[in-house]
């Protein structure tokens, strides 16, 4: 490579300097992401704020959830609270007061709020963007169900949708995102001791596990976006030693839309290839055949290599296919003891993980069963 190719132009150097200066002046954004209500994201945020204040940082509270539990409100002791504005008809974040106060860090509990008419911004996340642009760092909280692009997916799992939302693009601007990864059992216990006594714990556990998976994947994507931004800001080109070749294994019950979308994104990120396969089985019901046809159509729309595999043993067939095609990652759904997986003993996903040497096996929750009526 010649010196001219290695050395950036003066214009490129100027752009990098300007990007660095802009980044340095902007406040930092940290988001605590909950996959469901009750995981403890507000507690984690205020606890971090309290610890930062003890370390000498100038920390203020810009918003507190009106129904905060006592263990959360206790953490507010010793923290300065800037009251919400109430002159617009309903309470909203007092952005001008926070900017005048100019703290190092502002804690805002609840990112997904619509502001009353008459203010500068329609939604609270835009207030946060204004604070960041003014050089104030923000720590805030949000539940997965309020992420705009995830609402349809969450609705399929929970059966309902909330009104307010925050665009996923805003979350991707975060300097730090942390999933409050409380075990599903903890959330179920809280639900049973609260307003949801008598809840179907098995169904709730399945829902929470599916939501948790989505939240963790979203957080991983935000981290990837942070890396992309860092490399771009420092003029570093992406270099990959080997292409990723992702294999998505679908069944009629797979959450194929999620798996194929993640597989496509992963393959694109590393300039790789996406394969979608279906292990042939006999005597599919009309409903399962229709679901499978939809999955394979999604795969074709995603420009993947679609193949139907045949064999006596699922794991052996998948591993052989992986070796022949240089697969690096395998996406499979949670196994079930009924239906397709019933033919296999022991659990095929457990076998696949145990026997796959050099393969990264990722397990996704199956799509929730839709019932009519």
Mind listing the pLDDT tens digit for each residue in 225-277? 777 777 776 666 654 444 689 999 999 988 899 899 989 888 887 778 999 99
Least confident of 57-66, 230-239, 276-285: 230-239
* Burial call 226-245: b when 16+ CB within 10 Å, e when fewer: beeeeeeeeeeeeeeeeebb
Closest CA to 144 of 219, 213, 205, 215: 215
Two tokens, residue 208: 């929470």
Domain 245-364 has CATH 3.40.50.620: yes
pLDDT score for 363 = 84
pLDDT score for 4 = 47
CATH class of 3-233: alpha beta
Give every CB contact of residue 173 below 8 A, 6+ residues apart in sequence: 29
pLDDT score for 21 = 53
Tell me how far apart the alpha carbons of residues 15 and 21 are, in angstroms, rounded to a whole number. 10
- CATH 3.40.50.300 residue ranges for the chain: 3-233
Using a pLDDT cut of 90, give the percent of the chain over it. Answer: 40
Asked if pLDDT for residue 24 goes beyond 70, the answer is no
Query: Average pLDDT of 64-69?
Result: 84
Give every CB contact of residue 316 below 8 A, 6+ residues apart in sequence: none
- CATH 3.40.50.620 residue ranges for the chain: 245-364
C-beta of residue 309 within 8 angstroms of C-beta of residue 277: yes
Tell me how far apart the alpha carbons of residues 235 and 83 are, in angstroms, rounded to a whole number. 43
Mind listing the pLDDT tens digit for each residue in 301-343? 999 999 999 988 889 999 999 989 889 999 998 754 444 444 4
C-beta of residue 364 within 8 angstroms of C-beta of residue 213: yes
Instruction: Please tell me the pTM assigned to this model.
Output: 0.64
pLDDT score for 2 = 44
pLDDT band at 67 (very low <50, low <70, confident <90, very high): confident
Query: Average pLDDT of 171-178?
Result: 91
Task: Calculate the CA 308 to chain-centre distance.
Answer: 31
Tell me how far apart the alpha carbons of residues 361 and 143 are, in angstroms, rounded to a whole number. 27
Mutual orientation of helices 348-355 and 314-325 as an angle, nearest 10°? 40
Least confident of 127-141, 232-246, 298-312, 355-369: 232-246
């Amino acid at each position: 490579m010649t010196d001219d190719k290695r050395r950036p132009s003066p214009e490129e150097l100027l752009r990098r300097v300007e990007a660095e200066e802009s980044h340095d002046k902007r406040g930092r954004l940290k988001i605590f992401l909950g996959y469901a209500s009750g995981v403890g994201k507000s507690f984690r945020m205020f606890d971090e704020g309290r610890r930062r204040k003890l370390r000498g940082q100038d920390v203020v509270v810009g918003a507190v959830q009106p129904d905060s539990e006592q263990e959360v409100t206790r953490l507010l002791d010793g923290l300065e609270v800037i009251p919400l504005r109430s002159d617009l008809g309903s309470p909203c974040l007092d952005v001008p007061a926070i900017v005048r106060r100019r703290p190092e860090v502002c804690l805002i509990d609840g990112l997904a709020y619509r502001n009353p008419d008459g203010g500068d911004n329609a939604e609270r996340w835009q207030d946060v963007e204004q604070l960041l642009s003014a050089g104030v760092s923000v720590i805030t909280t949000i539940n997965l169900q309020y992420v705009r692009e995830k609402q349809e997916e969450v609705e399929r799992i929970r059966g309902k949708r909330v009104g307010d939302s925050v665009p996923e693009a805003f979350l991707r601007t975060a300097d730090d995102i942390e999933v409050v990864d409380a075990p599903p059992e903890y959330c179920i216990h809280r639900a049973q001791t609260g307003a949801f006594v008598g809840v179907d714990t098995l169904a709730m556990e399945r829902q929470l596990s599916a939501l948790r998976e989505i939240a963790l994947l979203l957080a991983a994507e935000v981290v990837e976006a942070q890396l992309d931004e860092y490399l771009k800001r420092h003029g570093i080109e992406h270099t990959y030693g080997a292409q990723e070749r992702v294999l998505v294994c679908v069944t009629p019950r797979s959450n194929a839309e999620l798996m194929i979308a993640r597989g496509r994104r992963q393959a694109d990120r590393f300039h790789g290839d996406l394969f979608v396969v279906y292990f042939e089985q006999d005597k599919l019901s009309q409903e399962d055949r229709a679901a499978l046809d939809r999955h394979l159509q999604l795969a074709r729309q995603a420009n993947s290599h679609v193949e139907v595999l045949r064999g006596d043993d699922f794991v052996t067939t998948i591993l052989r296919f992986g070796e022949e095609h240089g697969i690096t990652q395998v996406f499979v759904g949670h196994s079930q003891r009924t239906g397709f997986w019933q033919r296999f003993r022991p659990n095929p996903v457990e076998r696949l993980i145990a026997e796959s040497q050099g393969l990264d096996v990722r397990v996704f929750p199956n799509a929730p069963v839709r019932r009519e009526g």
